Each structure stands twice: as C-alpha cells, then as structure tokens.
Amino acid sequence: MERIEHRACFGGWQEVYRHRSHTLDCDMQFAIYLPPQAQHGPVPVLYWLSGLTCTEQNFIQKAGAQRYAAEHGIAIVCPDTSPRGEGVADAEGYDLGIGAGFYVNATQAPWVAHYRMHDYVVEELPALVEENFPVTTSRAISGHSMGGHGALTLALRNPGRYRSVSVFAPIVAPSRVPWGQKAFAAYLGEDRGTWAQYDACALLASASERLPLLVDQGGDDEFLDGQLRPQLLQAAAEAAGHPLRLRMQPGHDHSYYFIASFIGEHIAHHAAALRA
C-alpha cells in the first residue's frame, strides 16, 4: 500500500491510498477518514459507495461527512467505483465500463477479467482496512445512486456483514430501468434470471436478515421516474415485511447538495447501530 494523500480534518486524518488488488487484477485507490478517536483505539467503519462517473474523491470532497464522523467516532472508507488502468475494459458513455462498475461480479467477456467489484468491496477491501488501520470489524454501508444500489444489494446479499445500511437516491430495481439493464446485460449476460442476485427489489423477497433500510430520495431528482423508481422498493419491502424508512425530500435533486443536507442524519443512524 502507498499513501498518496494525508490531510488533517476535524481532528482526524483524511487519507488516500493506492494498492494492488488481486480481486480486480489492477491498481486501486481508496480514501479513508480516521476520526480523532482512532488515535486512542479501534473505531467502527462506514463504507461509502459512490455513483456513476465518480472516484474515491467525490464523497470526501463534497459531502462534508468528516465533521459528523469525527463527532461520532466512525471511520469512513470510500472505494473507487470500478477497476481502472491499462488493459481494463471500457465502453463509450458514462454508464458502462470505467466509473460504472455497478458493484457486481461480471461473468461476461471482456468484463470478467477485472470487474469483480462485489468481492472487492465485501471481502478484499475490508480485510485490507482491518489489517492496516485502527478499526473494528463493526461495519456499516451507505451509498448514492449506483452506489445506493451497491449498498442495498451488498447488505442484502451478505447477512451479518453490516450493522446498518442507508442510501441516497438509489437505483432500487436495476433489472427494470435503463441504467441497470445496460450494465447487467453487459456484465452478467442476457439471462435475466441471473440479474435478480444484484437487484434490491428481488433480493428483498428472500432476505434472511431484516436489516432496516433508510432511504432518502430527492423529490426533484431528474432521474426519479426514469432510473430510480423508489416506489418499487417500497412495494417490495411491504410485500416481504421488510423494515424500510423511505423519506421523500421535497426540492432536492440528485447532486451532492442533497447528500450534504442529510449526511449528518445518516451518520447518526449508523452510529446508533454500530454502538448497539
């Protein structure tokens, strides 16, 4: 691991590291915020998954989360959104390929060689973080848009792995919207039966853990009706008897202004679960 950024922030440190990922077979970067409490002992970790076109930088620069993480004594780890580098497959457009890993394990060529973001986020990255930083194995997960899809599906697919989950403007039913259909057809193939393993609405029907879902959605989000469709998650949760708190936030769009407005409440939500 190579540290490439080290900045004082709210009594703690905002850092960025580069490492070789065996899961993705390429070099990867991730950001980690270590709150001041980490100087005195291990702290729990919130994993943040960003959306389309993002890197590990967007959240740490725009969300204003470090203030709340320092208040509650929580580390925040932000991985990149896809593999990158020479030899990594890419495609035209912003919604497939580099910057658009969708947090799945690809099974189709040419993506299968590198695009295994599910295993990277769930297994390799936490193992690396827990070995090298003053953190506990108490984990929470959150994300935005494509990263909201990732946070929901990773939590639902891996019961017991996370203590809490919350999301902003998630893609809740990727099998039924253009962003997800394009990505899933490329990464997973045309058999829609295989898509359900990465579709939050489908996963709710068989979820063995009743981890409460906190979802914030902007009422003026430009992608609300075409790509996000939170009402599908609400219907799926009601059918499965799964706890869901869906908060429609009037006037808010899809941007980091929306995230910054409510990130403090989300971190407090995770802090309560991580302390329990």
pLDDT tens-digit series, residues 29-41: 999 999 999 999 9
Number of domains making up the chain: 1
Furthest CA-CA distance within the chain: 51
Using 70 as the pLDDT threshold, list the residues of the chain that sit under it. none
Q: Which residues are catalytic?
A: 145, 221, 254
Q: How far apart are the first and last CA of the chain?
A: 32
pLDDT tens-digit series, residues 234-275: 999 999 999 999 999 999 999 999 999 999 999 999 999 998
CATH assignment of the domain containing 17: 3.40.50.1820
pTM: 0.97
Rg (CA), the chain: 17
Q: What is residue 276's predicted lDDT score, i.e. its pLDDT?
A: 76
pLDDT tens-digit series, residues 57-81: 999 999 999 999 999 999 999 999 9
Residue written as token pair 């808010």: 252
* Domain span including residue 231: 2-275
Q: Which of 214, 247, 239, 263 is nearest to 60 (CA)?
A: 263
Q: What is residue 22's predicted lDDT score, i.e. its pLDDT?
A: 98
Kindly state the percentage of the chain with pLDDT values over 90: 99
